Every structure is written in structure tokens, then in C-alpha cells.
Structure 1
Amino acid sequence: MKTTELDVLKDPISKLFRGYAIPGIVASLSMCLYGIINGIILGRFVGPNALAAVNMASPIFNIISCIGILIAIGGNTLTAISLGEQNKRKANHYFNNAFYTLFMITVVIFIMVVFFPHVLARIVGANSVLFPMVVDYIRTFGVFVVPVIFNILLGISLQSIGKPQLYMVGNLLSVVLNIILDLILICVFDMGITGAALASGISATVVFILFFSKFISKDSFLRVGRWKVELKAIGRMIYNGSSEAITQFSAGFSFMIFNWILITKFGETGVSSFAVVQYISLVVNAVIMGMSRGLGAISSVNYGAKEYGRITELIAVAIKIVTLVGVVCTAILILFKSPFISLFVKDNLQVMTTSSEIITFYSFNFIFVGANIIINALYTAINNPKISAILAILRYVLLIGNFFILPLMFGNIGLWLSFVVAEIICVVVSYVCLKKTMQKWSLN
């Protein structure tokens, strides 16, 4: 398939890797940069409790975004495979079914987060201190939930039609707007956590307008047009995207449980400390997620064309790179954890001490998490959500189990090691599945 930017079926894997993975990584890193700066602004100008409140509200939006991911990735897998089969009509059919189905779902989500934020704040376990801030953040950011969720579908679709650079530009624009609005709304107008939510929502809306304009253009490879409803296609999208949705839901659910444990054992200090660690870890997660989203589009198109050797080469390169990134980032975090923590927290020795202890053990998680995410995303991209879902469920079942078992054996250290142990076990299982899949491809 010849796209306007890159030839996914013919260009060398090294060129595609640079063309897709690097823009994906840059886009994710730009969002990560915003997350870090946002954390610094909140921590220093509003206080550690603001960090804790955002950290408690985040699982809600992680779980909500799993709906967007369910349709976006599930639909885009079918769209990209159709593009690999040189069937533009079918690709547009799948794209429009995904677009309008997602719109209907997001309207329901909008009503839920805007009119019932108190219920959601209670679900995540916010105590009396954090409750008002968590409610404000959920309600304010919830106003923009439609463009936020649609940016997932439109961003992934841009990659499938050979425009990963535009996806990158959109994310960079979002970051610049976010930072500017944060400085204005939080530092100048003293709007606190509400200002942070407004900044994120407004910037997401601007990017949505940019992305959406490309899919109503007459010369676009994929266009928003008439919706010919096909329930079977929607069912296939849900099935194909289920593994990624399970991953997102499980991540949000497990962090919700983790926050419950932290606030029970350590109070606001524990949640604030882990929030600092999460902001710092955004860099590693951004590299991994940016790479996996970009490479997923390449894998789907090549799978549709039965170019299995190209997929094998691509995944081998990706796993080596994310593992190397994980090792380097683990070393950097352990060696320079104090300066990093001091960026977010000032004059709170308890939060700084707890954050330092968490980083010492939690950071080893980065060595293994990249391979798990890449392999999991591959199975979604090649229309095998069953294995992808099994791996995703295993990963978070192990994680939640570790939250309760390891502290009994190792105390607080066991709690911080829960993430590392879950990733190590899961990466072994993932490699076994990947080896069997590649052996099967070699016979075709």
C-alpha cells in the first residue's frame, strides 16, 4: 500500500521504524513533558495534595479511555489490515463504523463524568482532605472527554494512512498549549487543580480540531462520511480491541487499588509520594507506548499483506530498543532520584523520603515492561486479541496479587517490588507465546 508519506509494505524496516516509531515516541514524550511540567507546577504552586488528587482521579480517566481504546485500536486494526489488502472501500467502512460508534459511547461517558463526579470520587477512595479537589478535577476535565477520547482514534488512524508526523505535530502542539495555559491558569489566576484540568481539556480540543480536519478533507485516504451500520463489524472491533481495553482498564483498576492501599497505610503522604514517582516514570512509559502505537500500524498493514518476515524483524528491533531504554532509565533514576524528586516537592521531608524509597525498587520495573507492552500490542495488531487479552489479564492479576502477598513477606519493600515481580513473570510467558507465533509464520 502506497501512502502519502511512507510505503508500509516496501520501505525498509529501518526506515519505517524511524518514520513511525520516532514520531510516536516524540509525540508521547511531548505529552510526558507536559505531565512532568504540570506535576512540577501543581506540586510547587498548589501543593503535594494537588498531586495526590490528580493521581487519584487518573484511574477514572484511564478506565474511561479504555472505551476509546477498545473502539479505536479494534477498529483501526481492521482498517489497517484492509489497507494492506488494498481495499480502500472496506477500510473506510470500518473507519466510519468506529467513528460513529465511539461518538455514541462518549456522549454517555460525558454525562457520567460531568453530572456524577462525586460518585466517581468516592469510588477511587478519596478521603475528606482530597475529595473536593478530586471532584473538581473529574468534573472539569470531564467536560472535554469527547475530544480527549476521539484523539485516540484519529491519532492512530493518521499513522495507518502514513501520516505519523502529523500525529507528532498534534501532540507537540498540545504540550505547548498545555504548558502555556497551566502557567496562566494556575500561576497567574490561581485556579489550582481546576486550572490544570482546563488546560488539559482546552489543548486536547484544539488538537482534535486539527486531526478531525484531515478526515473531512476530500483528498483524505480515510474520510468521515455516511455511516452504514454493521453490527458484525462493530462486534469484531470490540473483540479486536478488547485486549488493549483490558490493559487500560486493568491499569486503572490496579492503580486504584494501589492508591487505596497507600491512603490506608500512609495517608495523603503515600499517595503524594507515589504520584511523584509516576510523574518521573512518564518518560519511560512515553517511549514504550509511543513506539508500540507506531509499530502497531506497520504490523497490521503487513499482516494484511502476509509479510510475516517484516513483522518479525520489526518486533525484534523494537524489543531490543525498549529493553535498552529501560536499563538506562532505571540506572538514571536510581543515581539521580533526589534531584528529580526535589523538582516536584519542596519542604516536605516525609514525601521526599517515601518517594526515594519507592523509586529505588519500583524503577527496575522499566527493564521488563517494554517487552511486555510491545508483544501485547503486536497480538492486537495482527488480529489475535485472545492471546493479547490473556497476557494483559495475567499481567494485572499478578500485579494485584502481589500488592497483598509481597508486603506480608517483605513489608513496604514488597509493595514497591510488586510491579517488578509481575513484569518479570509476564515477560517470560510473553516470550514463549511470541516464539510459537514466529515459528508458525516461518512455516507459511
Structure 2
Amino acid sequence: MEFEYGRSSSLLDKKYKEFFMPTVLTAMATSASIIVDGIIVGNLLGSAALAAVNLSLPVVMVYNIFAVLFGMGAATVISVAKGRRENKLADEVFTVSFAAMIVLGLSLLLIQSGLIDQIALSITDDRLLFPLVRDYLSILIYASPLLVIVPGMVYELRTDGKVKLASLVLIGANAVNLILDIVYIKIFDMGIKGASLATLCGYAVGFLLFLIYFSAQDRTLKFDWAILKKPFDFMERVGKIVMTGMPSALSSSLMPFKIFFINLIVLSTAGKTGMAVFSVCISCLSLISMFISGAAQTMSPIVGTLYGEKDYRGIGFVVKRAFKILLGANVIVVGFLEISPGIALGLFGVTDPGEVAIGVQALRIFAVSLLGTSITFLLLYYYMTVGRRKIANLISVLQGFVVVIPFAWLLSKLWGINGVWAAFILAEAVTLATVFVYYLAVKRKSKQKISNMLLLEEDQDSECRSYDLSIKNRLEDAVGLSEKTIDFLQSSGLAGKSCNRVGIAIEEMVANTIRYGYKKEKENTIDIKIKVLADEIIISLRDDGDYFDPIKYHDTLKETGNEQTRLGGISMVYALAETVEYNRVLGLNNTRIVIKI
């Protein structure tokens, strides 16, 4: 079939690319800021202060878990709601998540404020480190509301297509944090309290940058404060957010425990040398994780919207794009570790012959697990987005803790330190095997309506037929669209009159979209889907042109008397259609036309 009348992935590929780079850059900036922050504190205050900051990281991780739980959970619910054109639900979830994160952040602040000594003592009882940890936390706790709200709301900004602003918020927060580290510690001589105050101020700036969102004229999420007066509805929304965000939050919460127990196993098996090598392995995991999180967090809002629209073919395009990007990243990183593990060890300062001997084998074994980690993490986010929470939670538990720890302990007894590295490969293999078994079980239960591991039930109703196609934003490409549409409808058994009405509606709407939705002379793609039901035909149009709401445009020109001269085509569509709906999602125009037959 010719491209003009077959479905293309171009539009969704372009949107994925637009979201991917800012998301990865944000992950890189955040990771780099942690490293640079450690360098600044270590050089200005010494190793004891650096150790105190690192020991306090579990407290920060708790804040992050809540940010992921409510932020990622709400963003996923919103994206699906937007795809279903449930804009009121999207606004309610946006409002509830923001209010919940404020309450949660303030609650954390109140709880911690009276327990500083106890929290510090639970982290360390070392006479030198305890006062440093206590001083650091005494300021950091005041940042807890911001450390929950700012990263949490960034997920929701991406869902509304504000990916650049989302990146600016976190990059700006971390940049200010690093600058103020130097100012407070070196210039004002505030010691370790200066480091935590810098974090507080940095995320305060991040919150101010987040407020820019509310001045954006094209934002689609708004506060619906009425939901706060409906306690049952409010709690129902909270429950939906928490249940949706649980897999990603669970994955984040299990990571510290996983590293803690692996540390114990490595220390008991290979001592300090093993720990040095494991640190390099974790650094390599952090490197590939930038691309993993970038690919997954880019995929999630797009897939959520497509899932809400039931555009399952589009979901396939997006998931395939995410896998291709991760495959490319793995080829580079894993290939480098397999070919030149000695160079990788040298980059992290591991040069001792004994450590290098162990490290070369370790990296070559551990590198294989990175591909599995990429796949399982992407599947986790995907299943979470499409509502397959059971398997998403199972992936979090299996990959994050349950499998790798027992395997690492057992294999360390059988094969020594190399058994620990092999445990990571086996953990990924067991997780993927479990996912495959789950897929087979769901497929059998669905009576073959599910055909692949995306776990999407295909519409097998013989009375429902659909036609997906894409065209370029050129008027000459729109010409002839009516004829192709009519051919499809006639093959679906529709009468000639109904076929002609739909054919005219599609060609006129597409032509007007090209005329008024694209101000710049750039080649873009318009996706079209025609769905034939028993008593109606649904036409869905999606494009990445400028904001163009045909409903408002039609009403405005109708009021000014220009309807016939300037928008005769759209007026014709209105005359033929039962309903015309418009939605702006992820920076894309989405128009839905329903014609009764």
C-alpha cells in the first residue's frame, strides 16, 4: 500500500524524539549534580562530611519514593484520561496529586522535626559522623515538601507536553544547588548545614520555575478545587494514583535494600577489592540507567494517551522506538565493557593489579545483565501505564530484590565473587521468563484476543472495522483521500450515501487542518483512523501542527459572518456530523468526528 494511504510511525516517532532528549538530559544533569555535589562537599569539608551526606541519602530516597508514587502515578492516570477525552478527570487528578503532595510533604516535615536525633542515630552512631548527619538533616527536613512536590509535578508537566519546562525545573534546581554549595560552604563558612541549605534553596528555585507552567496559554491541565469538597471522590482519586504509581515507587524503594545486601555479600566474599569492583559495576548501571529512565519516562505519557484512545497500533510504534533506543545504548555501553573492561576500570581509578584481575571478569559478566535490566525496566513502565499492575509490581519485586539476593548468596558460595555478578544475569532471566509465562496465561484467559506481550486485547468484533492511514501535510496529498475512504467503507458494507458523507467530511477536515494548522512550511504527518461501528462511524485525526481547534475557529468565524467564505469545508463537516470534539494532548491536535449511519 502506498505511504499516503497506509499508517506511518513518523508522527509518533517525531513526538518521541522531541520528548526523549530533554528527559535524558534531565537524568544526566541530576546524576551529574549528585557526583559534583559530593566532589564539592568532599573537597571543601573533608571526607567525614562527604560520608555524612552519603549516609543521609536514604532519607532523600524516601522523599523520592513519594514523588514517584504520586507524580508518576498521577501522570499516568492523566495521560490515559486525556486519551479518553476525560478532561475533567485529568484536572481532578492533577489537583488531587498536587494537594496530596503538599499535605504529604508538610506531614514529613512535622514528623521529622521532632525526631532529628533519632533519625540521625538510626543512620549512624559513630561519634564523628553522628553530629554531622544531625546538622545536615536539621536543615534538609525543611526541604522535604519541595523534594516531594517539585520532582513529582515534573512528571505531570511532561504529560501536558511541557517537556522542556520539566527539564528546566530540575536542571535549574540542581544548578542552583551546586552554585550555592560553594557560596554557603566556602564564602559564608556554614559547614555541612550550608550543603543542605543549598539543596533547600535549589529546589525552592525549581518550584518557582514550575510556576511558569500556570502562565502558559496552551496548558491543558487546570486546578479543579471542587474535588477537595468531595471527600469520597478525593480518596478514590488518591487510591487510583497510588495503585497506578506503585510499581515504579516499589522499584525505587527496593533499590537501596538490593544494594545494601549485595554489599554485604560482596564484602564477605571478596572484601575491599570486591567492593571497589562492585562500585564500578553500579556506576556502569547508573550510566545505562540514564537512557533506561529516559526511554521509559518518554514512552509512558505517549503510550498512556494512545491507550486511552485505543490506538494500539500507535502503541506498538512507540514501544518499538523505545526498544530501539535502548538497544542502541546497550550496544555501545555493553560492547565497550566487553571489549575494554580494563579501560573502564581505569576511568574509575581502579588500577591495582589484583582489583583489575577481578574487575575485568566482573564487568564482562555484569555487562550482560544491563540488557536484561533495560528490557525489564521498560516493560515495568509499559505495563504500569496500560493498567497491568499485577505484572508490573511482580517485575519490581523479582528484578529489584527477591531473585537477585538469594542467587547472589547461593552462587557466591559455589563460584566465589563471579557468582555474585552472574546472579544479576539470572535475576533478569527469571524476571523475563516470569513475564512470558504471565503473557501465556493472560492470552489463554482472553481466548486468544491477546496476540503479543503488549497484552492489548484486539477488537475481534466482526461488525467493527477500522482503517489506519497517514498523509503528509500537503494539500495534494489530501486530494484523493475521499476516494480511498469511500473504497474502504464500501468494502465494509456501507451504503453509497453514507460512504460519500464520510469521504467528504474527512477530506474537508484534513484540508482545513493543513491550511490553518500549519503556519511553517515544514513537512509533517497527519494520522487518520476510521472506525466503523454498527450505527456510527468515528473519525479520529491527529497532527502536530500549531494549536488549531476547529470548534472554536468555526464558532468564531460563524459569529463574524465569515463562515461560508473562509471555512465552508468545516461548516460542511458540522452539517454532516453528529458531534465534533477537539482535544490538545502532548502538544498534538486531536479531533474526533462522529457520523451516524
Normalising by structure 2, report the TM-score: 0.63
Map of 2:181 onto structure 1 = 182
- What residue number does 2:488 align with? none
**Which moves more between the two structures, 421-430 or 372-381?**
421-430
Alpha carbons of 1:311 and 1:32: their partners in 2 closer, same or farther (altered >3 Å)?
A: same
Structure 2 counterparts to residues 317-328 of structure 1, below 5 A: 317-328=321-332
Distance 1:377 1:38, change over 3 A: same
Q: Which moved more, 1:208-217 or 1:246-255?
A: 208-217
Q: 1:269 to 1:107 in 2, by over 3 A?
A: farther
Measured at CA, do residues 429 and 34 of structure 1 come closer, stay the same or move farther in structure 2, by a change above 3 Å? same
Q: Deviations over 1:412-431 (max 9, x none)?
A: 33334443432333234345
CA distance in structure 1 between the aligned counterparts of 2:385 and 2:273, rounded to whole angstroms? 40
**Which residue of 2 is the match for residue 400 of structure 1?**
405
| Pick aligned residue for 1:282 from 283, 286, 290 | 286
Query: What's the offset of the Cα at 1:24?
Result: 0.9
Deviations 1:205-227 (A, max 9, x none): 21122113424767632123515
Distance 1:265 1:122 in 2: 29
Which of 306, 321, 324 is residue 302 of structure 1 equivalent to?
306
Counterpart of 1:98 in structure 2 is 97
User: How does 1:317-396 map onto structure 2 within 5 Å?
Assistant: 317-332=321-336, 334-342=341-349, 361-395=365-399, 396=401
* Equivalence for 2:82: 83
SS at 2:348's partner residue? helix
The structure-2 alpha-carbon separation of the partners of 1:186 and 1:414, relative to structure 1 and needing over 3 Å to count, comes to farther
Counterpart mapping for 1:73-152 below 5 A:
73-123=72-122, 130-152=129-151
Paired residues in the alignment total: 432
AA paired with 1:72? Answer: G
Q: 2:454 aligns with which of 427, 438, 443?
A: 438
Kindly state the Cα deviation for residue 272 of structure 1 after the two structures are TM-superposed: 7.8
Mapping 1:221-232, distance limit 5 Å = 221-229=220-228, 230=233, 231-232=235-236
1:246 to 250, 260, 267: 250
Match of 1:204 in 2: 203
Q: Deviations over 1:37-91 (max 9, x none)?
A: 2243345555555555444432333234222222222222221111112222221
Given residue 104 of structure 2, which amino acid in structure 1 is its aligned partner?
I
User: Would the aligned equivalents of 2:71 and 2:97 in 1 still touch at CA under 8 Å?
Assistant: yes
Q: Distance in 1 between matches of 2:292 and 2:329?
A: 9
Aligned counterparts of 1:119 and 1:248: Cα–Cα separation in 2: 24
Deviations 1:80-125 (A, max 9, x none): 1111122222210111111112222222222344443444445556
Worse overlay, 208-217 or 304-313: 208-217
Letter paired with 2:144 = V
On the 8 A contact 1:24/1:293 being kept in 2, the answer is yes
Distance of 2:101 and 2:79 partners within structure 1: 18
Using structure 1 for the length normalisation, give the TM-score.
0.83
Q: Secondary structure at the match of 1:143?
A: helix
Contact 1:106 1:146 in 2 (8 A): yes
Secondary structure, aligned partner of 1:324: helix
- Tell me the residue number matched to 1:164: 163
Say whether the 8 Å CA contact 1:77–1:381 is kept in structure 2: yes
Q: 1:337 to 1:323 in 2, by over 3 A?
A: same
Gaps in structure 1 of 5+ consecutive residues: 1-8
- Kept after mapping to 1: 8 A contact 2:49/2:132: yes
Which residue of structure 1 aligns with residue 427 of structure 2?
422
Counterpart CA distance in 2 for 1:260 and 1:116 is 28
Q: Provide the C-alpha distance between the structure 2 equivalents of 1:107 and 1:135, rounded to a whole number of angstroms.
A: 20
Q: Percent identity?
A: 22
Do the aligned partners of residues 280 and 99 (structure 1) sit closer, same or farther apart at CA in structure 2, a change above 3 Å counting?
A: same
Cα distance in 2 between the residues matched to 1:46 and 1:351 = 32
1:399–1:418 Cα contact (<8 Å) kept: yes
1:279, distance to aligned residue in structure 2 (A): 5.0
Counterparts of 2:352 and 2:222 in 1: how far apart (Å)?
A: 54
Structure 2 equivalent of residue 3 of structure 1:
none
Q: Secondary structure at the match of 2:36?
A: helix
In the alignment, is residue 233 of structure 1 matched against residue 237 of structure 2?
yes
Q: Which has the higher helix share?
A: 1
- Of 199-208 and 154-163, more deviation after overlay is shown by 199-208
Mapped partners of 1:151, 1:119: distance in 2? 27
Structure 2: any 5+ residue segments left out of the alignment?
Answer: 1-7, 440-450, 461-597
- Structure holding more strand per residue: 2
CA RMSD of aligned residues (A): 3.6
Distance of aligned partners of 1:67 and 1:50 in 2 relative to their CA distance in 1, 3 Å threshold: same
The structure-2 alpha-carbon separation of the partners of 1:71 and 1:227, relative to structure 1 and needing over 3 Å to count, comes to farther
SS state of the match for residue 222, structure 1?
A: coil
Cα–Cα, structure 1 residues 232 and 28, in superposed 2: closer, same or farther, change >3 Å? same
**Match of 1:203, as an amino acid?**
G
Q: How many Å separate the matches in 2 of 1:136 and 1:27?
A: 29
Deviation at 1:20, TM superposition (A): 1.3
Gap change, CA 1:410 and 1:269, over 3 Å in 2: closer
Shift in Å, 1:442: 4.2
Separation in 1 of the partners of 2:274 and 2:131? 19
